[in-house]
Amino acid sequence: MANIKKGDLVQVINGRKQEKGGDRGKQGKVLEILVEQNRVIVEGVNYATKHSRVGQTQRGTKTGGIETIEAPIHISNVALVDPETKKPTRVGHRVEEQVKDGVKRTVRVRYAKKSGKDL
């Protein structure tokens, strides 16, 4: 089971400080996880400028130009945010038994180590 999943709120814990133009300390939602490269794309963090060729659609509107997109950052540089304290925390896993429709099932649950709340 992965520690960070799509849709989680994470905080950047490494890199340049915000005063010096970096992203350390910023929080954002995980948009995508690139498993093969061990990288995540976080909303509002690590903006990059992308140039795309200017074209024209059937209606005559122009497409392309200069866009800013979120670039991926390494997964070790982000930490999951505790829902109670809004600060970065480590993730733990525990096994719980749930009864649904009379059937017992064991489920692995992620929880924040600082507060003990389920994620």
* pLDDT value, residue 1: 54
One digit per residue, the tens of pLDDT, for the chain of length 119 reads 578 999 999 999 998 898 898 899 999 999 999 999 999 999 999 999 999 888 887 777 778 888 899 999 999 999 999 988 999 999 999 999 988 888 889 999 999 998 888 88
Report pLDDT for 88.
Answer: 94
- pLDDT at residue 117 in the model: 87
Classified as helix, coil or strand, 109 is strand
Q: What is the pLDDT of residue 60?
A: 75
- Residue 37 CB contacts under 8 Å (≥ 6 apart), including other chains: 72
CA distances from 100 to 18, 37, 76, 86 (A): 48, 38, 36, 32
pLDDT given at position 40: 95
Count of C-beta atoms within a 10 Å radius of residue 3: 15
How many Å separate Cα 24 from the centre of its chain?
14
Q: Taking the complete model, does pTM exceed 0.95, yes or no?
A: no
